[in-house]
Copies of this chain bind each other. A is one copy, B any other.
Amino acid sequence: MVGAGFGGLAAARAMADLPVDITIVDARNHHTFQPLLYQVATAGLDVDDVCYAVRGVFQRQRNVRVRLGRVDAIDPVSRTLHLDGGASLGYDSLILACGAVTATFGVAGVEEHAFGLKSAADALAVRTHVLERFEAVDARPDIVDAGALNFVIVGAGPTGVELAGGLAELVHRVLRRDFRSLDVAATRIVLVEAADRILGSFDPKLSARARRSLEKLGVEVMTDTAVAEVTPAAVRFADGRELPTQTLVWAAGVRANPIGDEGPFATVPSGRIVVNDQLEVEGHPGVFVIGDLAASPTSDGRPLPQVAPVAMQGGRHVAALIASRVGDGDPPGKFEYRDKGSMATIGRHAAVAELPNGMRLSGPLGWLAWLGLHLVMLIGFRNRANVLVNWMWNYLTYDRGSRVVVSSAELSAALPEASPSPRRHDPESVLPPLPEDP
């Protein structure tokens, strides 16, 4: 199993009672609850609230091993994963669940000069940078003209919309009181979307409501606007206009993890690996792909959305399939995604939700539904309790508690020099361990 996202965890948990040995490989030691990263970026939640150590998830599940590492190569002939650092792992079945990465669509400068919002580090980087922009303007008010307080978010899907709303609340409700001597009204939060409306996957009525909610919060929404280039100091649009900014978050889309294109399996142009209606790679029995990385056949021919429920349902499907192959239960039918609807929150009392039965929620009701669903989906009682405390705090006080900046520079400086390199010691001079139970 490669990847400890929503799909990987769902698959491993669903195999808890099977007579199989599961090894989960992930480059990070934690599961990231990506839907709430925007709240970490806007100082509403802490990293430890929305991330969970993978080893902690499986402390009590005896058939799971966790291995920190990056997959360098997959050899489907010898059924071997090669990890960075030279180690390798053999497998009988392989579940690829390594998700998606930010898609730049080839726009110049995005890779180098834009922030992403796919990992805890991304979210912390955005938070730190935004707060530092305000500190910088506090020290040198003249840099406002250079766009120091212009925050641009590209892509108005749920991530971009939620980030824009969260940022507007942070600026206008919290930082306005933090920086009393600063003209916070000079702040511009600009949400840029190439299509003709925001939240394009939702009903147009909900898009319009979400747009009104955002504008009420002070967000400038620019639809029908494509980005041509991002530089460290500005964003240039396709029509030639430009906007000075030192902060551009690219939330315009994702593409499949590059492991697809670099690996031995056939992919579609978006980098997703082609699988059959069992999520198994044709010609490679025992190799499964789930979630954002899988291009599975659908009845209408449209690719499945790259969202958590698809990954979790895929994980459980593959677990059932493996169960049937080790003699536990009947094989499941072909994989079919059951749409659970989608939601996006804009801010206090404002969210939009679309249920599969066609029901639409917005306003306070949609917002409460959003809060409840996200609390329930978080892993672990401790994370839920902490998120609840922070949400109640944020709600009651209009405050955002997590405005603490620990920059990467400070973090690097705290690390001692020279990575430890094992070397031999003179056995004579080495201090022996104390006897046990002295």
Which A residues have a C-beta under 8 Å from some C-beta of B? 28-30, 46-49, 51-53, 55-56, 59, 62, 65-69, 85, 87, 112-116, 119-122, 124-125, 129, 131, 135, 138-140, 143, 145-148, 177-181, 188, 215, 220, 232-234, 237, 240-244, 246, 380-383, 385-386, 389-390, 393, 397, 399, 401-408, 410-426, 429-431, 433-434, 438
Contacts and interface: CB of A to CB of B under 8 A. Distances in A.
Nearest to A433: B188
Given A29-B131, A389-B382, A430-B242, A414 B124 contact: yes
A185 to B, nearest CB: 9
B119 A414 contact: yes
17 contacts: A29-B405, A46-B46, A47-B404, A55-B178, A55-B179, A62-B180, A87-B139, A87-B140, A113-B416, A115-B415, A125-B415, A143-B422, A188-B433, A242-B429, A382-B399, A386-B386, A412-B412
A170 to B, nearest CB: 12
Contacts of A138: 67-68
Contact of A399 (B56, B179, B393, B424): B56
Contact of A243 (B46, B414, B431): B431
Contacts of A237: 431
Contact of A53 (B56, B404, B414): B404
A177 B58 CA distance: 9
Contacts of A46: 46-49, 386
B411 A177 contact: no
- The 3 A-B pairs with the shortest beta carbon distances in the complex, nearest first, are A146-B422, A246-B420, A408-B411
A415 B411 CA distance: 14
Nearest to A388: B389
A188 B416 CA distance: 20
B383 A386 contact: no
Contacts of A51: 404
Most chain B Cβ neighbours within 10 Å, of A380, A414, A425 = A414
A139 B422 CA distance: 14
The winner among A131, A215, A233, A411 for most chain B CB atoms within 10 A is A411
A220 to B, nearest CB: 5
Given A29-B404, A68-B135, A417-B232, A431 B120 contact: no
